Amino acid sequence: TQLLEQSPQFLSIQEGENLTVYCNSSSVFSSLQWYRQEPGEGPVLLVTVVTGGEVKKLKRLTFQFGDARKDSSLHITAAQPGDTGLYLCAGGGGSNYKLTFGKGTLLTVNP
Amino acid sequence: DTGVSQDPRHKITKRGQNVTFRCDPISEHNRLYWYRQTLGQGPEFLTYFQNEAQLEKSRLLSDRFSAERPKGSFSTLEIQRTEQGDSAMYLCASSFGPSAGGLTGELFFGEGSRLTVL
């Protein structure tokens, strides 16, 4: 069974601060996706990374896939209250037809 | 709205009753997934369909659960003889089939159906 561990589980920061959340596994994933979920809603895809060492930027969000494709990080610069939500990482396995999700990092950005 | 839609959004039922959830995927997507999410957890895979064929079921899907996707369009998830442990958000997602590189495409999630079993 492939498991994804996300840390920290909870993070509360002030507007304007930077933060990094992590997604780690002992398994290799063919691809890794990051989703953001707001209360009462379904997850929404932010990015997919597929190549070891890959870095993708989405405005103030920077995503990195580890060289060995076992871990990933999400860095947010100058966080805003609108960034508040549950950030989930999800790994695609060899068969690639389903995703394994981590438990998520619940981020609160206070104004 | 051409996104994934789920119905009902909320369902409160008594233990032992049967419930059914419906999911209408994005029309051109051939894959449909059901996930379950409990408080403080990420979504857990339950089952998935490619067109009308149910290709895998998680061991989380006990014999009280049944999912169908007749004609490869909408899907239903039925839970019989509900238990309090079934209380969760049931999420449906759809996607295209694998890309040329065999990678899972983006999953588009619905807003979920929240089940509360009293």
Residue B100 has pLDDT above 60, yes or no: no
Question: Does B85 lie at the interface with A, CB-CB under 8 angstroms?
Answer: no
Interchain pair B48, A33: CB under 8 A: no
Q: Give me the mean pLDDT over the B26-52 stretch.
A: 91
Residues of chain A found within 8 Å of residue B50, distances taken between Cβ atoms: 97
Between CA B38 and CA B8 the distance in angstroms is 17
* Closest CA–CA distance from residue A28 to any residue of chain B (Å): 14
Residues 6+ apart with CB under 8 A from B22: B6, B7, B74, B75, B76
Interval A16-48: pLDDT, tens: 999 999 999 988 888 889 999 998 889 999 998
What is the secondary structure of B49-72 as a DSSP string? EETTEEEEE-TTS-TTEEEE-GGG
Give the mean model confidence (pLDDT) for residues B71-90. 95
Give me B25's structure tokens. 């995927």
Asked if B74 and B34 count as a contact pair (C-beta separation under 8 A), the reply is no
For residues B81 and B66, is the Cβ–Cβ distance under 8 A? no
% of chain A beyond a pLDDT of 90: 74
What average pLDDT does this structure show over B54-75? 91
B95 in Cβ contact with B105 (< 8 Å): yes
Residues of chain A positioned with their CB less than 8 A from the CB of B45: 98-100
| Chain A residues within 8 angstroms (CB to CB) of chain B | 4, 6, 30-31, 33, 40-45, 48, 50, 88, 90, 92, 96-104
State how far residue A25 is from chain B, nearest Cα, in angstroms.
Answer: 15
Whether B112 and A103 lie within 8 Å, measured CB to CB: no
pLDDT score, position B76: 97
pLDDT: which is higher, B105 or B32: B32
B9 to chain A: nearest residue by CA?
A: A40
Interface membership of B25 toward A (CB under 8 Å): no
Q: Which among B96, B91, B88 is positioned nearest to B75, based on CA atoms?
A: B91
